[in-house]
Chain A
Amino acid sequence: MAGLAVKAHELIKWFGEGEAKTYAVRGVSFEADFGEMFYIEGPSGSGKTTLLSLISGILRPNSGSVLVDDKDIWSMTSDQLADFRLNKVGFVFQDFHLFPRLTTAENVAIPLILKRRDWNESMNSAMEYLEIVGIKDRANLPPVKLSGGEQQRVAIARAIASSPDILIFDEPTASLDGDTGRRIVEFVKHNVLNEMRCIIIVTHDSRIFEYADRIMKMEDGRILGIEKGGPHEE
């Protein structure tokens, strides 16, 4: 492993007040490293998505801290947080959230454009990322013309276009058929993961556990334990 990527410390998050107050995350601490595929696994409603949002600068915890590069991201201003998400984190949303009115290449170029890269330069880089994920020939089509697996690849290309240190997937195989899902995650492990990058995947799809380095089990907002992943886990 090539060092600490994220350190979560005693994260607590609840929703609602009074009677309606529900705890989604109840004091979670863990560390994820560069160069690893770190899975978060657990039943629906166990707080996985909430935890993912806390560590990626999307949702503010009620208490606890998230250290990235030795800085607590939750002590930043909202503009600094936006910059943090733009430069350090890549998101692959569960239902992709691609822009139907833009071409595939333009979708991929968005993080670069937000980084104020020149339009043509951004489009050229987008083409390179589309080539990495193997769908360069779809560059000028709108995403709706693509299959689910291809859309997933566009979302991955967009997430890695900003060269993030931390790449975040929420249920990457949920909207894909089994085989496509496996192939995508295998692809991510072999082509997107590197020693400078930490990939955090939320899933309860056991068919992709073989690509995990570590699997953190959650239930009811708590960590049950962390296991080693790989082909022979169970």
Chain B
Amino acid sequence: MKGILKIAYKLLVNDKGKFAALLMGITFAVFLMIMMTSLFAGILHRSSATVLNVGAKIWVMDPAVNTAVNSIPMPDYVLDAVRSINGVNYAVPLYSGGALVKLRSGVYQSVTVLGLDDSSLFGRPELIEGKIDDIYAENAFVVVKDAEFPKLENPRIGTEFEINDHRGVIVGIARVTTSGLFGVPTLYTTYNRAITYIPSSRFTDAFILVDPKSNDAVPYIKQQVANLGYLALTKDEFIEKTSTFYKYKTGLGTNVLIMTVISFIVGLSISGQTFYTFILENLEKFGALKAIGAKGKELIFMILFQATFTALTGYGLGIGFASLLITIAKLRLPDYAALITYGNLGMALVMVVIIAGISSYIGVRKVLKIEPFDIFRG
């Protein structure tokens, strides 16, 4: 069989024009699919930045909440009720809200403020400069050094600013694993300072962060919170909910889905068409091979090999180009949210395999149908 494959390989690759067209079709399709889905994956990942960074195991929220950035504050009694649920180790409030900062240059910049529970500082970020205890000092804020950091004019420890007519001062610079989606810098402070500095509605608990005594307690906690009329989600569930929101309840997900389907169709038609022409042009030769004594399964093998080889080469090239472009884009735009996930790669592979499968199915049918007699008659 090795020799037969070598013949198949040479028939394919030596037809340079057609091979190039085939590769281009598949490469382009894979490239588009990976770009679209990676961009989307990046956005989804970013959209859960707060959930990932705070790191609580269970989040209690209003059932109407879709993402961590759009919270609906809950009345104070919920916190007490959650604290009294059996199996809750501790529960703390998290403040999350937007504010306007006036920088020293006089420029206004909107920010997200996260207020951490005063006694535990649960969900605090990792500091790369300063000490976390300084967050208790007067007017103290910790700034996150992410892609948005320069928008605050690259503050340092001691840098002062105004926040809603209150004085603020930077006491620490933090690092987080995931930066947010919305191009707004993030400040951390204590819960109590957040609610005093930032005008709020009557209720102030955006989320309640819960640490369960054990994983076994989680279903019970969820049940009890549900009885209160609120929703308790594990970290993964909350991320999932956020993703679902962006995937299905915003135009974003639909558009990405449409683009992915289009790239699949474009790839399928270019490569399917070209492969079909390739088979048609070689049909006589396949017929001659049949006459000479090649068996049906040997011809099928040749065609499958040609389709698979083209598909995988195009797949590799497509991934290569997509990674290259994403890498370059990330160098130029630190904010560029694209994430090549195994899921994306797997999905593109499945699509490529379908493209190769359909193409070779058509080819195989054609080739099996030719009568060597027709070739013989000329």
Q: Point out residues on A near B: beta carbons under 8 Å.
A: 49, 52-53, 58-59, 78-79, 82-87, 89, 91, 93-95, 97, 99, 101-102, 106, 110-111, 113-114, 116-119, 122, 158, 162, 170
Are A59 and B3 in contact, CB atoms less than 8 angstroms apart?
no
CB contact under 8 A between A101 and B3, given known A95-B378, A110-B292, A111-B292: no
A197 CA / B372 CA spacing, docked (Å): 23
Q: How far is the CA of A89 from the CA of B376 in the complex (A)?
A: 14
Secondary structure dominating the interface of B = helix
List chain B residues, Cβ under 8 A from A91.
Answer: 291-292, 376
Knowing A93-B288, A106-B10, the reply to whether A113 touches B3 (Cβ < 8 A) is yes
Q: Report whether B376 and A170 are in contact in the complex, using a CB–CB cutoff of 8 Å.
A: yes
* Interface contact B3-A58, CB-CB below 8 Å: no
Using CB atoms and an 8 Å cutoff, list the residues of chain B in contact with chain A. 1-4, 6-7, 10-11, 14-15, 284-285, 287-296, 298, 371-373, 375-378
- Determine whether the beta carbon of A94 is less than 8 Å from that of B7: no
Whether A97 contacts B285 by the Cβ 8 Å rule is yes
6 CB contacts below 8 A, A to B, read: A82-B294, A84-B293, A93-B378, A113-B4, A113-B7, A119-B2
Complex Cα–Cα for A87 and B292 (A): 9
Assess A114 versus B376: contact at CB under 8 Å? Given A86-B292, A97-B284.
no
Q: In the bound complex, do residue B7 and residue A110 qualify as a contact, i.e. CB atoms below 8 Å apart?
A: yes
Known contacts A83-B293, A93-B288, A94-B378: A118-B3 contact under CB 8 Å: yes
Q: Report the minimum CB–CB distance from A109 to chain B (whole Å).
A: 8
CB-defined contacts of B295 to chain A, threshold 8 Å: 78-79, 82
Interface secondary structure of A, over-half rule: helix
Residues of B within 8 A of A89 (CB): 293
Q: In the bound complex, what is the Cα–Cα distance between A91 and B378 (angstroms)?
A: 13
Once the chains are docked, how many angstroms separate the CA of A10 from the CA of B215? Answer: 86
| C-alpha gap A122/B3 in the complex (Å) | 9
How far is it, in angstroms, between the C-alpha of A211 and the C-alpha of B298 when the chains are bound?
Answer: 38
Residues of B within 8 A of A170 (CB): 376, 378
Chain A: which residue is nearest B3 at the CB level? A113
Q: Contact between B296 and A101 (Cβ–Cβ < 8 Å)?
A: no
Question: By the criterion CB–CB under 8 Å, are B3 and A117 in contact?
Answer: yes
Q: Which residues of chain B come closer than 8 Å to A52, judged between CB atoms?
A: 376
Q: Residue A87 contacts which of B2, B293, B296, B372 (CB distance < 8 angstroms)?
A: B293
Find chain B residues with CB under 8 A from A94 CB.
378
- Look across to chain B and name the residue whose beta carbon is closest to the beta carbon of A113: B3
Contact among A58, A78, A79, A117 with B373 in the assembled complex (CB-CB below 8 Å):
A58
